[in-house]
């Protein structure tokens, strides 16, 4: 796969589309102002180098930048524009060390864009990696955690300019951030996972920023549905699971809310047309967690399940999915780290309270 070596203002459109794809569960929030912001920063500050972890000096101080919280909250309470560099500066103060590069917590939705903005404002490179390869609901559900990298010290800032620092174990930090979100307006921009480039060589999902841009270019150039499906197949190994009309969207009646997960469980049912008439049932809670076709589990988190709006040719998020919509259901395999026993323990179906094994999980 081709590697992107720098990001310029001309990449803003592709960044936004690719970021929306990997944020499949919450796609569809209109983020035009983030595109404008990214473009403005890249025009003003110049291109941002995109560097693989192994090509940085080994002891380069790196940290992830990313939002924890809700996209609807971000849309209702937009950032002011100085949060990315502000949170990075606060983390530098806490670490008493300058950052040498910025990385993504997860290169998806606005969390693919904000690290680029931070890197541009701080005149730093962005590391071509992330910790999820998609969105996962918890800030501790990362390859960084799988690799044993500490989540804290972390800093966070809100839209009100509340500033917070947390030093805690990953699971405690998660709970503290969730508690703070409720009074901070629904989102916090975090600087977290301070580490070195050496650690990222093995602890990160490499190539994530390049992948966002490549997928975005596929979507930007798409003329029709077949073009999109073929492009996503070749760029990220996307598989078409089926497609048809959404016939049910509602609370999942089969399980209770997992107490450590925000939001509520939901079921989406897609019925195919034609003689096959297959039924695709998707279980969701924040994320699209698993897909069952005619009663057979075909894929599950941490693999990425996406709904492609057949008419609008855009990825359609869970919150925008309604009965009657025409969609294709796609699956993108997760990064290899997520199919390891440690990865599946952290982000597999059972981490979401689903009593099933991932199809790739070996039977004991």
Give the other-Cβ count within 10 Å of 236's Cβ: 21
Q: Rounded distance, CA 272 to CA 31, Å?
A: 31
79 counts as binding another protein under rule CB under 8 A: yes
318 counts as binding another protein under rule CB under 8 A: yes
What does residue 247 show for φ and ψ, rounded to 5 degrees?
A: -110, -10
Q: Rounded distance, CA 66 to CA 156, Å?
A: 9
Q: How many CA atoms lie within 13 A of 19 on its CB side?
A: 29
- How near is the Cβ of 207 to another protein at its closest, in Å? 26
352 counts as binding another protein under rule CB under 8 A: no
| Of the candidate residues 164, 319, 340, 356, the single one contacting another protein (CB under 8 A) | 319
- How near is the Cβ of 231 to another protein at its closest, in Å? 15
Q: Rounded distance, CA 362 to CA 342, Å?
A: 13
82 counts as binding another protein under rule CB under 8 A: yes
Instruction: Quickly list DSSP for 111-168.
Output: HHHHHHHHHHHHT--EESEESSSS--SSTT-SHHHHTT----SEEEE-TT--EEEE-S
| Of the candidate residues 180, 263, 269, 279, the single one contacting another protein (CB under 8 A) | 263
CA angle 43, 73, 344 (to 5 degrees): 90
Closer residue to another protein (CB): 9 or 201? 9
Q: Rounded distance, CA 209 to CA 239, Å?
A: 21
- How near is the Cβ of 267 to another protein at its closest, in Å? 11
Phi-psi category of residue 291: left, alpha or beta, with phi > 0 → left and psi -120 to 50 → alpha: beta
322 counts as binding another protein under rule CB under 8 A: yes
Q: How many CA atoms lie within 13 A of 56 on its CB side?
A: 29
251 counts as binding another protein under rule CB under 8 A: yes
Q: Rounded distance, CA 61 to CA 88, Å?
A: 12
Closer residue to another protein (CB): 159 or 205? 159
- How near is the Cβ of 225 to another protein at its closest, in Å? 7
**DSSP character for 53?**
G
**DSSP character for 58?**
T
13 counts as binding another protein under rule CB under 8 A: no
72 counts as binding another protein under rule CB under 8 A: yes
- List the interface residues with another protein, window 16-35 (CB under 8 A): 25-26, 29-30, 32-33, 35
| Of the candidate residues 262, 333, 353, 359, the single one contacting another protein (CB under 8 A) | 262
97 counts as binding another protein under rule CB under 8 A: no
| Of the candidate residues 165, 202, 261, 340, the single one contacting another protein (CB under 8 A) | 261
Closer residue to another protein (CB): 319 or 361? 319
276 counts as binding another protein under rule CB under 8 A: no
Q: Rounded distance, CA 25 to CA 289, Å?
A: 10
Residue that has been written with the tokens 């500066």 in this structure: 89
186 counts as binding another protein under rule CB under 8 A: yes
Stretches 50-58, 64-72, 198-206, 348-356: which one binds another protein (CB under 8 A)?
Answer: 64-72
Q: How far is CA 244 from CA 26, 93, 110, 114, 309, in A?
A: 20, 53, 29, 35, 10
| Of the candidate residues 45, 49, 75, 202, the single one contacting another protein (CB under 8 A) | 75
316 counts as binding another protein under rule CB under 8 A: no
* Residues of the shown chain interacting with another protein in the complex, contacts defined by CB under 8 A: 25-26, 29-30, 32-33, 35-37, 39-41, 68-73, 75-82, 137, 159-161, 178, 181-183, 185-186, 223-226, 243, 245, 249-251, 257, 261-266, 273-274, 285-287, 309-312, 317-319, 322-324, 326
């Amino acid at each position: 796969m081709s590697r992107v070596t720098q990001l310029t203002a001309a990449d803003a459109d592709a960044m936004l589309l690719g970021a929306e794809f990997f944020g499949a569960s919450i796609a569809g929030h209109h983020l035009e102002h983030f595109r404008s912001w990214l473009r403005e920063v890249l025009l003003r500050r110049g291109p941002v180098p995109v560097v693989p972890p192994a090509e940085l000096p080994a002891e380069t101080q790196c940290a992830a930048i990313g939002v924890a919280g809700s996209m609807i909250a971000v849309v209702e309470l937009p950032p002011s524009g100085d949060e990315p560099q502000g949170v990075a500066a606060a983390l530098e103060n806490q670490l008493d060390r300058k950052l040498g590069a910025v990385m993504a917590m997860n290169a998806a939705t606005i969390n693919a864009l904000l690290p680029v903005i931070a890197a541009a404002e701080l005149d730093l490179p962005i590391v071509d990696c992330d910790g999820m390869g998609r969105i996962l609901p918890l800030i501790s559900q990362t390859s960084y955690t799988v690799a044993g990298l500490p989540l804290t010290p972390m800093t966070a800032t809100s839209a009100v300019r509340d500033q917070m620092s947390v030093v805690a174990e990953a699971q405690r930090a998660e709970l503290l951030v969730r508690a703070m979100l409720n009074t901070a307006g629904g989102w916090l921009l975090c600087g977290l996972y301070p580490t070195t480039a050496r650690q990222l060589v093995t602890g990160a999902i490499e190539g994530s920023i390049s992948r966002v841009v490549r997928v975005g270019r596929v979507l930007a150039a798409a003329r029709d549905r077949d073009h999109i499906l073929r492009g996503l197949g070749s760029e990220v190994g996307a598989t078409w699971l089926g497609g048809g009309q959404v016939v049910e969207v509602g609370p999942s009646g089969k399980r209770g809310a997992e107490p450590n997960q925000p939001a509520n469980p939901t079921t989406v049912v897609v019925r195919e047309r034609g003689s096959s008439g297959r039924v695709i049932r998707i279980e969701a809670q924040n994320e699209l967690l698993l897909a069952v076709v005619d009663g057979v589990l075909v894929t599950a988190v941490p693999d990425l399940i996406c709904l492609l709006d057949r008419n609008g040719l855009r990825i359609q998020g869970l919150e925008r999915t309604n009965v009657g919509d025409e969609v294709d259901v796609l699956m993108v395999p997760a990064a290899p780290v997520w199919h390891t026993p440690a990865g599946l323990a952290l982000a597999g179906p059972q981490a979401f309270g689903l009593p099933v094994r991932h199809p790739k999980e070996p039977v004991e």
